Amino acid sequence: MREKIIHLESIVKNYKVGTQIVRALRSVSVDIYKGEYVAIMGASGSGKSTLMNIIGCLDTPTSGKYVLNGKDVSSMSDDSLAEIRNSEIGFIFQVFNLLPRNTALENVMLPLVYSGTKKAERKIKATQTLTDVGLDDRMEHRPNELSGGQRQRVAIARALVNNPSLLLADEPTGNLDSKISEEIMKLFAEIHKKGNTLLMVTHEEEIALHAHRVIRLKDGEVESDTINENPIY
CATH number reported for the structural domain that contains residue 102 in this entry: 3.40.50.300
Question: CA 73 to CA 96: how far, in whole Å?
Answer: 26
In a domain, residue 18? The reply is: no
Residue 14 lies in a domain: no
CA atoms within 13 A on the CB side of 44: 0
- Residue 114: what pLDDT? 85
pLDDT band at 44 (very low <50, low <70, confident <90, very high): confident
CA atoms within 13 A on the CB side of 92: 31
* Residue 59 CB burial class (10 angstroms; 0-12, 13-18, ≥19): middle
The pLDDT assigned to 147 comes to 93
Q: How far apart are the first and last CA of the chain?
A: 26
Q: Tell me whether residue 213 is in a domain.
A: yes
Q: Is residue 8 assigned to a domain?
A: no
Question: What's the pLDDT tens digit per position in 161-214?
Answer: 999 999 999 999 988 889 999 999 999 999 999 999 999 999 899 999 999 999
Structure-model confidence comparison of residues 1 and 57, the more confident one: 57
Evaluate whether residue 93 is within a structural domain: yes
Q: What is the mean pLDDT of residues 43-58?
A: 93
pLDDT band at 94 (very low <50, low <70, confident <90, very high): confident
Q: Is residue 23 part of a domain?
A: no
Q: What is the dihedral of CA 38, 161, 55, 227, to 10 degrees?
A: 10
How many helices (H) and strands (E) the chain has is answered by 7, 10
pLDDT at residue 93 greater than cutoff 90: no
Best CA proximity match to 30, nearest among 53, 4, 3:
4
**22 in a structural domain:** no
Q: Which domain holds residue 145?
A: 36-62+77-227
pTM: 0.92
pLDDT at 223: 97
| pLDDT, averaged across the chain | 94
In a domain, 10, yes or no: no
- What does the alpha-carbon distance between residue 162 and residue 52 come to, in Å, rounded to a whole number? 20
For residue 218, what pLDDT band results from cuts at 50, 70 and 90? very high
What's the pLDDT at 233?
Answer: 81
* Total domains present in the chain: 1
Q: How many CB atoms lie within 10 A of CB 108?
A: 30
